[in-house]
Amino acid sequence: MWPRNKSGFTLVEVMVAAAILALIVSMLYIAFASSVKTMEAGTEGGEIFRKAGVVLNRMAQDISCARLPAEEADASAQYAFIGEDKIEDGVPQDTLTFISTALPLRGPSRGIKQVGYYIAPDSETDKLALFMKEDTTPALGNSAEHAGKGMLLAEGIEGLDLTYYDSQGREWKRWDTTTPVFARKLPQLVRISLFFKDDKGEHLSLTTTAQVPLAGE
């Protein structure tokens, strides 16, 4: 008969092995939790950029379809292209009101609409957000706050910066077709920048441009 092996693990060896196993499990858990947190942060950051990108595309589409009335038609503030340069607490919060032939975000199309973009506090969260006012039956008014009924376009957008370029490539921070300088002239190009914060509170921005085919020379 073979002799029985009486050797085995001592209590100290078992305790050391258990401690090593617990350390390995803890390290794996920490690594897994860190990976999950990174993935969640990336997803949230990507969602912020995605929403901002959608908003920029919408604004560029509306601005690209900007128009002015015929020479003999009303050229008052009702049908004006008015971009105002505003800054609040060091953050640009420009406003823009204009007539566009782009399809409305809501409701049936009647050929033209008055559009207004502006930054304001959300009544529910009291945090700044981007609002849009859209009216398919334009009424008198010369600011974004009077262009139809306002709707929340994007939460978390704290700043809106608009820059206008004329046919000579000159840069303007304001544009008002009711004034002699810009009378009956649309900008050739509009640069749109949105400012917001990511989940870490860091300031971010996203920019695009919109060409205006009806600007003329």
Q: What is the predicted pLDDT for the residue at 208?
A: 93
Contact of 174 with 83, CB cutoff 8 Å = yes
For residues 162, 91, 144, 102, the Cα torsion angle rounded to the nearest 10 degrees is 40
Contact of 117 with 134, CB cutoff 8 Å = no
Q: Return d(Cα 51, Cα 3) in angstroms, integer.
A: 75
Taking only the tens of pLDDT, the chain with its 217 residues reads: 555 555 566 766 667 677 777 777 776 666 555 554 544 544 445 677 788 889 999 999 999 999 987 654 444 556 789 999 999 989 999 999 999 999 888 777 778 888 999 999 988 888 899 999 888 876 544 445 555 558 899 888 999 999 999 989 999 999 999 899 998 899 999 999 999 887 677 788 899 999 999 886 6
Q: What is the predicted pLDDT for the residue at 22?
A: 74
Q: What is the predicted pLDDT for the residue at 77?
A: 55
pTM score, whole prediction? 0.74
Q: What is the predicted pLDDT for the residue at 142?
A: 43
Q: What is the predicted pLDDT for the residue at 129?
A: 92
* Sequence-separated (6 or more) residues with CB below 8 Å from residue 24: none
Q: What is the predicted pLDDT for the residue at 62?
A: 96
- Strands (E) across the chain are located at 82-84, 87-88, 91-92, 95-100, 113-121, 128-135, 149-155, 157-165, 171-172, 175-176, 189-197, 203-211
pLDDT tens readout for residues 115-168: 999 999 988 888 899 999 888 876 544 445 555 558 899 888 999 999 999 989
**Residue 203: φ, ψ to 5°:** -80, 130
Q: What is the predicted pLDDT for the residue at 202?
A: 78
Q: What is the predicted pLDDT for the residue at 41?
A: 46
